[in-house]
Amino acid sequence: MAIGAPIREHEGPVPDDLFAHVSELDGPCVFRGAVAEWPLVQNSHSSIQDICSYLLGFYDDKPVTTFSTDEPIGGRIFYTDELERVNFNQSKRQLDAVLEELAELATQDEAPTLYVGSTSIDHYLPGLSERNSLPHGDLQATVRIWIGNQTTVAAHYDAMENIACVCAGQRRFTLFPPEQIHNLYVGPIDFTPAGQSISLVDLDNPDLERFPKFSEAQKHAMTVVMEPGDAIYIPAMWWHHVQGLDRFNILINHWWQAVPQHMGPPLDALLHALMNIRDLPEPQRQAWRVFFDHYVFGDKDEAAAHIPEKRRGVLGDISDDLARQLRASLRNKLNR
């Protein structure tokens, strides 16, 4: 697959506080060798057995969630025809057994897919993050590990900021800016392979007769192949298509959101709008578009400047107490 312009790469020494550095960037960025000294990365240069042994030194015996197939599918975690169901099996297994099977599958030219995705390091591998994660200070970052063979995760977005670190095997990232949602032919919101809506376009073999607007998305795509030890910053809401290129791959990522803790997932608001706004008569839909532009996407201070501060309520700064009141009110309205 050859798609997209190169992703910007950081020049010079990697900043000590990578989280603070990327907060000032206006798009994705690659940091070569940023985590090359992590023990997990160092072990990846020897053998699969060595890196598995290192991981299992932290394993506390909790079963992990796996995605697997009975037959080779080319590694693409996706749907069956007509989106009737997903094309993989999901189960709970012991990590030592999964790693043993991955080592065996790595000897096969065409192997079934086996994947451990988005697994909390601190919950399943306590202690691993002490020397194999980025220092994030006071940020409430979630650190997760992804382990598998040659798997492909279709283009999807995350609502949080993301720094992903390649720890074993090569990975190819293909990114699209948020506004390309119109050209990515995104699948269902409430029936997804792994929690996030995905593009239905196969980037390895795009069907431009079925998905003609994808040719426009291709013009805005950015691609990079990353080696063990490299890190990439993926801004929130950017679509990213991720391929494990080797027979054994590990990635550790850091998700965070520098917003007040009272804020919930924005997707909740989208679902509520789909239920209550999308199918209104067109004049009302357009009126609500104006309201959202004014109150949500416009200047917050300007929208409420004429109201005494103590009476601004939800139009002013939302405190934890006010957020609790709003959630309680919304629950009552939804349970009508």
CATH of the domain at 234: 2.60.120.650
Q: pLDDT tens digit string along 128-152?
A: 999 999 998 888 899 999 999 999 9
Pair type for strands 89-93 and 161-168:
unpaired
Task: Specify whether 91 is located in the same domain as 227.
Answer: yes
CB atoms within 10 A of CB 295: 13
For residue range 319-329, list pLDDT tens digits in order. Answer: 999 999 999 99
Q: Parallel, antiparallel, or unpaired: how do β-strands 89-93 and 64-68 relate?
A: antiparallel
Are 33 and 160 in a shared domain?
Answer: yes
Residue 36, domain member (yes or no): yes
Strands (E), the chain: 5-6, 29-31, 64-68, 76-77, 89-93, 114-120, 142-148, 152-156, 161-168, 171-176, 222-226, 231-234, 239-244, 249-256
The whole-number average pLDDT for the span 292-310 is: 95
Q: Quick one: 242 and 280 in the same domain?
A: no
How large is the greatest C-alpha to C-alpha distance in the chain, in angstroms?
70
How does DSSP classify residue 227?
A: -
What is the tally of structural domains in the chain?
2
* 186 within a domain of the structure (yes/no): yes
Q: How far is 154 from 1, CA to CA, in rounded Å?
A: 14
Asked if residue 276 and residue 148 are part of one domain, the reply reads no
Q: Residue 50's pLDDT is what? A: 93
Say how far apart CA 91 and CA 65 lie, in whole Å: 6
307 and 164 in a single domain? The answer is no
Q: 168 and 271 share a domain?
A: no
Pick the last residue of a domain from 197, 221, 256. 256
Beta bridge partners of residue 225, listed in sequence order: 172
Q: How far is CA 36 from CA 18, 211, 250, 254, 317, in A?
A: 14, 39, 13, 16, 43
Question: In the 8-state DSSP scheme, what is residue 85?
Answer: S
> Could you tell me the CA-to-CA distances from 9 to 25, 29, 102, 158, 194 in Å, in that order?
12, 5, 32, 21, 29
Same domain, 326 and 226: no
pLDDT 10s digits, 16-44: 999 999 999 999 999 999 999 999 999 99
Asked whether residue 261 is assigned to any structural domain, the reply reads: no
223 and 328 share one domain? no
Q: Are residues 274 and 247 in the same domain?
A: no
Asked whether residue 252 falls in the same domain as residue 270, the answer is no
Q: How far is CA 294 from the centre of its chain?
A: 30
| Domain assignment of residue 177, yes or no | yes
Domain span at 288:
266-334
Residue 259 has pLDDT above 90, yes or no: no
Which of 201, 228, 256 is at the close of a domain? 256
pLDDT band at 297 (very low <50, low <70, confident <90, very high): very high
Boundary of a domain, candidates 222, 256, 290: 256
Instruction: Supply the pLDDT for residue 138.
Output: 84
- Quick one: DSSP state of residue 296? I
Strands 239-244 and 152-156 turn out to be: antiparallel
Q: Residue 2 — pLDDT band, cuts 50, 70, 90? A: low
Q: Let me know whether 147 and 33 are in one domain.
A: yes
Nearest to 62 by CA among 126, 149, 144, 147: 126
